[in-house]
Chain A
């Protein structure tokens, strides 16, 4: 039980990171972006490439940061991947979503995002093959925190949690303390009114994609670090991320963070109550349950 709770919090950390980007995009651009989870795969695979590249160029970096299975090379690769994924997110918007947004309706955007998800997923599969990939083939053993009840935690998981919390805190500072954060919230509230007040709409949208892409890359790498990289990981993650976004309330960064942890914990606790074959239903049940009580999600607000 305690073990399930701890695991849930740790799983929640990368779901939250993914959900933050999604909630911003869904709120500001007003469409359900089903391709967001593919940015996680993209980020994870970009990091895989640069991890290998950095390790080969600077062998000193191929050393593990004890007790983690993370190497210095991978840490560097994460930063590179954040930049590349963020730019990719922006490019995808410029090439696809922007055009659809200008001509089509909300539903066209949803279909476009479905198509984009399939393209990204299959291109990754085409390049890297359909088999799972790993950052490190060594298995990182768990530390025993307590023997009775048995509680096991992997050092990597602690790192992922701490790093995710730090990133979230930084984002919080940006959103709440800077003019940029203020204008971002203004656009989310009312794009026309924000523009009248001198907020540059296209630049704000750009920023949203960059933030969403960057955080997605980190979430993808953290997922890969905890589990494995597989071209269909976006498909596997899209549901938990959407659940976190909807449960937290679309548009609320704090809601997304909380939603991520709720989905993570619920997924892990589900096995205590449900037979293992039924656990995939938990995110759905959670969405229904929360929406019945709070139709706009935990932190969401109704908007006209």
Chain B
């Protein structure tokens, strides 16, 4: 409760006093950027506060592209309709050229297709993971205006394939949740298994809320796989796996991060999960990530443990760096094009704070490029605006889960590259 009050007070201060007195240079102009985030849900508010934190740091360095930055924040209520309306208002009425958000893929997508792309505004999401965006970009429908600092489900499926390859499984059956996420995972994992030479014997959709998964499990079992890949949520995962084991199915399991749950472990039983390995994306173990943690702690008085905080910070910071690189009065596409100049692996490394932004300004003014070392590590976007992320392979233990292997960002990237 007290924490929430502190947050609210911090936000109030930040929003109420955009022009902090005593900043490096007095600015006589203000540039607005937009943010559409689900501030009405408890985990959404810190994401917005973290973005504002980045904006404050940039303003302390004298703003971006010669002007003070004001972040105009609108609530999406995790509702596509509300999100689109909010984004429309920001683009049409406030005239923003940069839009941060949204969190859910289902909200980000309609904003992208109906507001930012038609309006020529750069959109940078902290948290949308759907590979539908990658597909849209490959079709050339995002005009290069879309970026996100959250890794796609592709990282997770690639690591799943790595587990199968490392374990030497020759054939794997896939059980997946029959929703957008599960279908996405099933499609990705099938391609990744094929790339590492693991045969997918069958891919069976598990529908929510069915009285029995016996038939589905029987179908997978009939193909006699050496291992099973599960992209399921705990409730139906428990039912399906118990059925699977009782019918004598293999206990070699590869689990998506959705099954990283005590409920699943307890109800299936540790004695059957000894050979189960899970995958998940991880936060980076780099100095810049630690620095962010420390800065966040100092500002908000707690660890940045909520979902998407580091990603939100980096999204805001990169967007502002790109505005700086694009120069005054740049259009959305110009800012989007400048993202490459601030996330250049061969550029001058800059830290994620006021000093880093000041340093970046000098380099960019001299026509150079910078490598932003952010809260999620050295962010690098691919051609579709996607980022990669470090990953962990985990297993169940008596007390919860334990890490089996940590894959750093370069390792994940190298592995994904080897798949293609």
Contacts and interface: CB of A to CB of B under 8 A. Distances in A.
A78 interface: no
B40 interface: no
Given A131-B263, A141-B246, A271 B216 contact: yes
Interface in B246-260: 246-248
Contacts of A228: 238-239, 242, 267
A236 B222 CA distance: 26
Interface stretch (B145-153, B200-208, B395-403): B200-208
List 7 A-B pairs, minimum CB-CB distance, nearest first: A277-B205, A276-B205, A268-B215, A236-B209, A271-B215, A276-B204, A131-B263
Interface in B193-231: 204-207, 209-216, 218-219, 221-222
Interface stretch (A3-11, A60-68, A180-188, A291-299): A3-11
Contacts, number: 92
Contact of B207 (A134, A137, A277): A277
B246 A150 contact: no
A276 B206 contact: yes
Contact of A138 (B204, B213, B269): B269
B242 to A, nearest CB: 6
Contacts of A226: 212
Nearest to B220: A276
Given A139-B245, A150-B222, A277-B178, A232 B209 contact: yes
Given A137-B267, A142-B248, 10 more contacts: A3-B222, A131-B234, A131-B263, A139-B246, A144-B248, A152-B248, A223-B211, A267-B215, A271-B218, A276-B204
Nearest to A129: B263
Interface of B: 178, 204-207, 209-216, 218-219, 221-222, 234-235, 238-239, 242-243, 245-248, 263, 266-269, 272
A266 to B, nearest CB: 10
Most buried by A among B238, B247, B268: B247
A276 B248 CA distance: 21
A22 B283 CA distance: 53
Interface of B is mostly: helix
A46 B263 CA distance: 21
A10 B216 CA distance: 15
Most buried by A among B205, B214, B239: B214
Contact of A276 (B211, B219, B242, B247): B219
A110 interface: no
Contacts of B247: 142, 152
B48 to A, nearest CB: 29
A132 B238 contact: yes
Contacts of A279: 207, 210, 215-216
A139 B272 contact: yes
B269 A275 contact: no
A132 B235 contact: yes
Contacts of A267: 212, 215
Interface string A204-236: 000000000000000000010011101011011
Contacts of A7: 214-215, 218
Contacts of A280: 207, 210
Given A139-B269, A139-B272, A11 B205 contact: no
A228 B216 CA distance: 16
A285 B215 CA distance: 18
A259 to B, nearest CB: 15
Contact of B218 (A3, A131, A232): A3
Interface in A63-95: none
A275 B205 contact: yes
Contact of B242 (A4, A139, A233, A268): A139
A140 interface: yes
A277 B219 CA distance: 13
Nearest to B216: A276
A142 B248 CA distance: 7
A154 B207 contact: no
Interface residues of A, number: 38
A227 B212 contact: yes
Contacts of A277: 178, 205, 207
Nearest to A239: B211
Nearest to B203: A276
Contacts of A112: none
B269 A137 contact: yes
Contacts of A233: 211
Most buried by B among A15, A154, A270, A279: A279
A154 B245 CA distance: 12
B209 A235 contact: yes
Contacts of A257: none
A11 B211 contact: yes
A240 interface: yes
Contacts of B272: 139
A138 B272 CA distance: 10
Contacts of B266: 137
Contacts of A3: 218, 222
Contacts of B263: 131-132
Interface string A46-69: 000000000000000000000000
B59 to A, nearest CB: 44
Most buried by A among B209, B211, B218, B235: B211
A270 B205 CA distance: 13
A4 B215 contact: yes
A237 interface: yes
Contacts of A235: 209
A21 B263 CA distance: 33
Interface in A148-172: 150, 152, 154
A237 B212 CA distance: 10
Contacts of B218: 3-4, 7, 268, 271
17 contacts: A7-B218, A11-B212, A131-B234, A132-B239, A132-B263, A134-B267, A138-B269, A139-B268, A141-B245, A150-B221, A150-B222, A227-B239, A228-B242, A267-B212, A268-B214, A271-B218, A271-B219
